[in-house]
Amino acid sequence: MTTIARNLQLVRERITTACVAAGRDPTRVHLLAVSKKFAAEAVIEAVLAGQRAFGENYIAEGVEKISALRLWQAAQPGEPSGATANLTEWHCIGPVQSNKTRLVAEHFDWVQSVDRLKIAQRLSEQRPTHLPPLQICLQVNVDDGVNKSGVAPAEVQALAQAVAQLPRLTLRGLMAIPEPAIDFEAACELHAKTKAIFDAVNASGTLHTPMDTLSLGMTADLEAAIHAGSTLVRIGTAIFGSRS
Ligand SMILES: *Cc1c(COP(=O)(O)O)cnc(C)c1O
């Protein structure tokens, strides 16, 4: 077994253990493998170990890897090019500037880092009609980090309503990257804030379809995020190793 395959197994075990501890169903927590700064070969190893969803922070790097994986998949025996569903699903989890929205709309399946209506509008306009709608999470600046992207908690409801109206996007949920907490309790408390916003927006009844995705938790705080209700953990280091 490769190191990546072994690491994936360990992360899946961590997710299951955290779900059991929190009294949650482990099939309701999905794993996003964050492959930023690792080569396409590392992604292929993860795919061969059964991983499907990958997260990238940098648009150009992500698009390059997405293309490499398409070529790799097309070259697999018994995989006539384009005839089968894609083995991989790609999430953009880094900041998206206006001049990058077209690349993102053309190549990614999800964008978890939408924090302005203008970016959402461009993504919707630029999403090619032959592709399914782009799946969207709003990034929430839950702990008021001054240097961080993300919509302020008080503005989530309005942005969610506006994004949900855009024709080529599907609003799926919220994402947050809080500052590292001092301990488990503190991390749980921070993640619970995002969960509360998520529940409040869904309970407001203003969305045609309720959000189903709460993207919380990375290598260091996966357990706290699951305790607070995460449905999607974004794990890089524990799968691929530390980034230089
Ligand atoms: C890098 C990154 C991750 C993964 O972080 P690890 O600590 O390596 O697991 C998750 N989410 C976002 C938004 C990131 O930028």
pLDDT digits (tens, 9 = 90+) for 18-75: 999 999 999 999 999 999 999 999 999 999 999 999 999 999 999 999 999 999 999 9
> How many A from CA of 73 to the centre of ligand 1?
26
Instruction: Report helix angle 184-203 to 156-164, nearest 10.
Output: 50
Contact 191, 216 (CB under 8 A): yes
Q: For 144-194, write each residue's pLDDT tens digit.
A: 877 678 999 999 999 999 999 999 999 999 999 999 999 999 999 999 999
Name the residue at shortest CA distance from atom 10 of ligand 1. 234
Does the pLDDT value for residue 77 go beyond 90?
no
From 79, 53, 85, select the one nearest 231 (Cα to Cα).
53
Q: Is domain 3-20+28-71+87-240 given the CATH code 3.20.20.10 in the classification?
A: yes
Give me the residue spans of the domains in the chain. 3-20+28-71+87-240
Distance CA 19, CA 27 (A): 9
Task: Please give the number of the atom of ligand 1 that sits closest to the Cα of 219.
Answer: 9
C-alpha of residue 15 to centroid of ligand 1, in Å: 16
Mean of all residue pLDDT scores within the chain: 95
Q: Give the ligand 1 atom nearest the CA of 36.
A: 1
Backbone φ, ψ for residue 58 (5° rounding): -110, 125
pLDDT tens per residue, range 196-238: 999 999 999 999 999 999 999 999 999 999 999 999 999 999 9
User: Ligand 1 pocket test: which of 7, 15, 38, 93 has the largest number of ligand atoms within 8 Å of its C-beta?
Assistant: 93
Ligand 1 binding site (Cβ under 6 Å of any ligand atom): 34, 36, 57, 93, 177, 218-220, 234-237
Residue 177 Cα: closest atom of ligand 1: 13
- Of 95, 44, 94, 87, residue with least CA distance to 65: 44
